[in-house]
Each structure stands twice: as C-alpha cells, then as structure tokens.
Amino acid sequence: MIEVKLHDIGEGMTEGEILTFFVKVGDVVKMDQPLVEVQTDKVSAELSAPKAGIVKEILIEQGETVMVGTSILMIEEIRDKEELEQRQEKSTVKNYRSEAVRSQRRVLASPYTRKIARENQVNIEDVVGTGEKGRVIDQDVYAVLGFKKKPEQQSKKPSPELRSSSYFTGSKPSSVRTIPYEGRRKQIATKMTESVYTIPHVTHFEEANVTSLLEWRTACKEVGMPFSLGAYFIKALVITLKEHPLFNSVLDEKNGVIRIQDFYNIGLATNAPDGLIVPVLKQADRKSILTIDREMKELTRKAQDNELKGDDLRGGTFTVSNVGPLGSTGATPIINAPQTALLAIHKTKRRPIVTKDDQLAIGDVMTMSMSFDHRIADGAQAVAFTNRWVELLEEPKRLILELM
C-alpha cells in the first residue's frame, strides 16, 4: 500500500489546506495523475499519484489543514499493465466525475480567509471578492456573516458566534485591532529571523547615474522594443555574477566548502496580497532582456493571483528586491538564506551631478544597497561587485559588447 503524503511543495511551508480531491475511493489512477489540490500560504499545487493503482482510502476531509508529512490517501499499487488497463476501462465513468470536480471555480483567497469562512459555515465560492482581481478577503466573509444575522444582533460589539482575530481584555472588549500572526506572515518571520541569527550581515551602499540607460530604453521603445529597467538590471547582474562568482555561491559548513554555482536563477522579491514572496526567474544567463522582461511580468502576475507553483519558488541563487517604484531611498535588506547576498534597488531621482569633464549637469541617479554574508565575502569584494554592476548600468554599450 502506498501512502500519499503532503510534502514540502514550497520553500519553508509547514502546512496546507486540502482544497479539492480529484479522485474518490475505488478510482483507478495512472502514475503522475493529479489526486488532490492543496493550498499553502505561498502556492496552490496538485499532488500526483506516485504509482498507478486503486484509491483505497481517503484519510483527510476536504477543507482540513494538515501538517507536512501527513498521509492524505492510500493507493494500492497495480504493477500488471494489462490488469491496469482493464480496471481503467471499468472506471471511465468515475474518472469523468473526477474531471468534473476539477472544473469547479477556483476562488482566490488566503488559507486564513478560508478558515474564517469554514468555521462560520460560509461557502467561500458564494462570496463576492472585493480584493485585487476578485480576491476574497476577510472583510468579504465578515460582510456575508453580517447580512445573515438578525437585525437585533447587529451591534458594534463583536458577535459571540463570529470567530475572528478580535480579543478581549477582562470583561470589556479591547479597542485594539489585531492582525493574525500566522500563515505566510509567520513563515516570513521565521525565515527572516533564521537568516539574521545565522548570517553575519554586512550592507554596502552605492549609487549609479542611469541617465544614459534611461535614454537608451526610450530609444528602444520608440522602435517597438520596450523593456522594463528591472529586466536590464537582471541581465547586468548575471554578467556581474559570472565575474564575481562568490556572490552566486552557498556555504556548506558541514563539509567545510563554499559551493560556487554555475547556474543563475534570480529571485524576485515580490509584494503580494498575502505578503512577501520570492518567485525565481530560472536560467537568466540564457535569456535576452526582452525574454527576462516577459517572464518577470508573468511571475509577478502569478504571485499577485496566488497562482505560483512550488517549482516557481525553488532554486534561487541570488535575490533582487526592486523597491524603488514604492519610493524607497535606502534599506538594509535581509539575505534570502542560504544565498550569499541580496541586492535592493531604490528610488531614482533627478539631481545635480558632476560630469567626467567637471561640468555641472542634471542626471538620473539611482541608489542601491547590497547585504552580503561576511563569512563568504569581504567588503572589498562587495565593492568590486557593485562597481562592475554600476558600470554596466551607467554605460549600456558595455553590456551590449559583453553580449556579443
């Protein structure tokens, strides 16, 4: 008998909510056939059958939240190919039913919002979402509960049957509004705390005159080849990482080595509705600026819509946080362990600058900060790294020559 367990489908996840079963007891399944959809605080994912066989037992109820390692269902393996085909023919009707289950409307909502709905017996599929792109948020569920209450129950005081994050001090309601400290927020805290306590952080600050880069981007846009600055930053970053490989490495303390990685997967720190998440742009060294631009936008969209899969979050070798559009002028970013460094890109301002021929002019100056692991690299190496990256930003022709 084969146990299908909830495994880690995203970096650092500890639990997941069982959203939908695609099979029932008695269904015949093929290897890699989707069995169940699981929602974590980072991604939604489908768990597939590790072997072909018959679903003998479903151990968890739909809607339950379970810890990683929990057995979800049992499959009796069928190794004989002929027997498998015969049983599949007989179970065709059941498989069609499974497909029908998969066609149910998917609701964008965090596990905590789903928990509020479930505990208060609200069908989340009936709730109209007012969040971004129709996302169902806590207030939407509370609104449904409010409409269901009798008029005499309506008051400013929390209703006793409404389970929420409100709390009481003594016998009087507290006037302090609380925010749930769980789910993705708690995972972020755990990972950040571990990083700070494990890695000796050093943050190096720098700035770049990106006037020429902005002019070149405008020229490219005018000939029908627009791209975001973020895509250019990543292309320049890959070139810099190849020349300074320490910053694309991982420290293996157990074996006493620093592992230099020869692949370049760039993590994109993204502000999503449920909190910070870092999808990974894979093999950035093999892609053009236009391709990077397209894939960055798609990963950001998936993060906003909670459509990221486990593979979208794994394998990062270096992380970039572009907070400039939000108005940031500086920060001391926390490294996305076990990576060696994180580069934060801040606001670009027009301000007076001194040109190479000692003339005063107005230019576009961007600030940045890079935190690095002092166990792996020293300050001089960090300065050399950012100097090279800044050089590629200030003179786009240098990057073009590097690609030729």
What's the distance, CA 60 to chain centroid? 27
Contacts of 219 (CB under 8 A, 6+ apart): none
**Long-range contacts, stretch 321-325, CB < 8 angstroms, 24+ apart:** 321/269, 321/345, 322/230, 322/233, 322/268, 322/269, 324/348, 324/366
Distance CA 183, CA 181 (A): 7
Q: Could you tell me whether strands 65-67 and 168-169 are parallel, antiparallel, or unpaired per DSSP bridges?
A: unpaired
Instruction: Choose, from 7, 204, 244, 374, the residue flagged as catalytic.
Output: 374
Active-site residue, 346 included? no
For residues 393 and 210, the answer to whether their CB atoms sit within 8 Å is yes
Nearest one of 366, 360, 400 to 386, comparing CA atoms: 366
Nearest one of 13, 82, 81 to 47, comparing CA atoms: 13
For residues 346 and 366, the answer to whether their CB atoms sit within 8 Å is yes
Q: What is the CA radius of gyration of the chain?
A: 26
For residues 303 and 214, the answer to whether their CB atoms sit within 8 Å is no
Residues carrying an active site annotation:
374
